[in-house]
Structure 1
Amino acid sequence: MPVALIIGVGAAVGSASAEAFAAAGYKVAVASRTQRLDSSKFPFFEFDAAEPTHVAALFEKVHKEVGIPDVVIYNAYATSPIGRTEVLDIDNAEGFQKRLNVNAVSPTIAANEAVKGFLELESQGKLGSGGATYIFTGNVLNEKPLPGFFTLGIGKVTTAYAVEYLATQGYKEKPFSFYYVDERESEGRPMYNGVNGDAHAKVFLELAQNSKQGPWQYTFSKENGYTLFAKNLE
């Protein structure tokens, strides 16, 4: 049975993705600070993405207790402190570093740990027809700076680079895929409100079941699926 690991399981994207992958025959492990789903169905691993030194231990536990993930979805994020109005929204060095850990450092280390597992599965002949897939839940901030999202935007830019590097330079000859997934409005405008968990889950599952690398920056809308939108849309 293939294994999916979802890091960051909230009420929308993470939960919907766990249900979708389980329905598709995956054993789904979930990792977050708070347990939201039924642990008898979804093995739960307590994890704080603000602590990147704990990422390797998380993967080790998942490997031992559930199996090596064929699919890793990084869905955790940290926003600016509530009430901050400064242009650079930096409260202090410690808080800024923790948010960068969640948005940039931990997802990059998670990608590295995911690849280690992919290589092990391949060496054991255990990869399925869909190969192995790492997915990062992104948004428009890697392309478009927006007021009030300074540290979140830095994280998205950093991880977008990591995903692009892995997809285009890292493992092109392997059945491994890497995606920065960004939901938009049907016309391509940023999804400011109402991110759709079910639509993300559908896209994630489709990407995971295709062994060929698609567009690493996977912009989509609920209505039209993948679309290459023009940049700098308001």
Structure 2
Amino acid sequence: MTTPLRYRTALIVGAGTGLSASLCRVLAAEGIKVGLAARNTSKLEALAAQVDADTFTVDASNPEDVMQLFEQVDGQIGAPDIVIYNASARLPGRLTDLDPEAVHKAIDISAYGGFLVAQQAAKRMLVNRHGALFFTGATASVKGFAHSAAFSMGKFALRGLAQSAARELAPQGIHVAHVVIDGGIRSAARPDPVDRMDSTLDPDAIAETYLALLRQPRNAWSWEIEVRPWVETF
């Protein structure tokens, strides 16, 4: 028997047209009111109209912006009992060539923003001892690649935040989970190679995994889960 969801309002921070769009659609199909937050919300207009979602502009690395975001969400759609942090910043390059300020900003978006969002989410969820706080990770959350120092640092830090938050908040009724997306996500611009079909992750399938996490009974919560194509070695 499918476990019914006990959630009413969701906020996806770092929303875009890929995984976030799939998450938005799958949550809306469950009757959950969704808010989409991003630096540029113009790219979200069609999606928002499709599922009756609300959009919010935010710089997730700015404390004042994040505080105002949650106040706006509170007033517009209600305090979210699902919050998904999906923002990140890639800054490829050789270690010796990277601009320190750009690295600082990338880590702010990938990790510090996750802290700011988690802090505001937890303050609201703790009132009712109920909620779900999910973080979107990557292969770089557990494996640092060459020419990927900034992204790896940010994703490693985000994973540490998720683990710490899970240990602190789970006993208080808040489900914290970190999802390691171990592979490339399929899109119109990034289809499967013709000689290696099924080698990327379908964003709709990933969204179903998030939904399964939301359905988990609290006596069997996962704090971390990995998803990858079946043809990929690891």
Report the TM-score, using the length of structure 1 for normalisation: 0.80
Q: Report the equivalent of 2:117.
A: 110
**Contact 1:89/1:151, CA 8 A, preserved across alignment:** no
Q: Number of aligned pairs? A: 208
Equivalences for residues 115-126 of structure 1 within 5 A: 115-122=122-129
Amino acid at match of 1:79: R
Change beyond 3 A, Cα 1:111–1:23? same
Q: Which runs of 5 or more structure 1 residues have no equivalent in the other structure? A: 123-130, 185-190, 225-232
Q: Report the equivalent of 2:145.
A: 146
Kindly report the root-mean-square deviation, in angstroms, between the aligned alpha carbons of the 2 structures: 2.3
Of 96, 100, 103, the residue aligned with 1:92 is 100
User: Any idea what SS the aligned residue of 1:172 has?
Assistant: helix
User: Any idea what SS the aligned residue of 1:136 has?
Assistant: strand
User: Any idea what SS the aligned residue of 2:180 has?
Assistant: strand
Q: Report the equivalent of 1:229.
A: none
**Does the alignment pair 1:64 with 2:75?**
yes
Q: Report the equivalent of 1:172.
A: 170
Change beyond 3 A, Cα 1:23–1:208? same
Equivalences for residues 1-234 of structure 1 within 5 A: 2-35=8-41, 36-38=44-46, 39-40=48-49, 41-80=52-91, 85-87=93-95, 90-93=98-101, 95-122=102-129, 131-168=130-167, 170-184=168-182, 191-192=183-184, 194=186, 195-212=201-218, 214-221=221-228
Change beyond 3 A, Cα 1:192–1:13? closer
Change beyond 3 A, Cα 1:17–1:89? farther
**Contact 2:20/2:86, CA 8 A, preserved across alignment:** yes
Q: Which runs of 5 or more structure 2 residues have no equivalent in the other structure? A: 1-6, 187-200
Change beyond 3 A, Cα 1:148–1:120? same
After TM superposition, where is structure 1 displaced by more than 4 Å over at least 4 residues in a row?
Answer: none
Whichever structure has more helix as a proportion of its residues is 2
Amino acid at match of 1:145: G
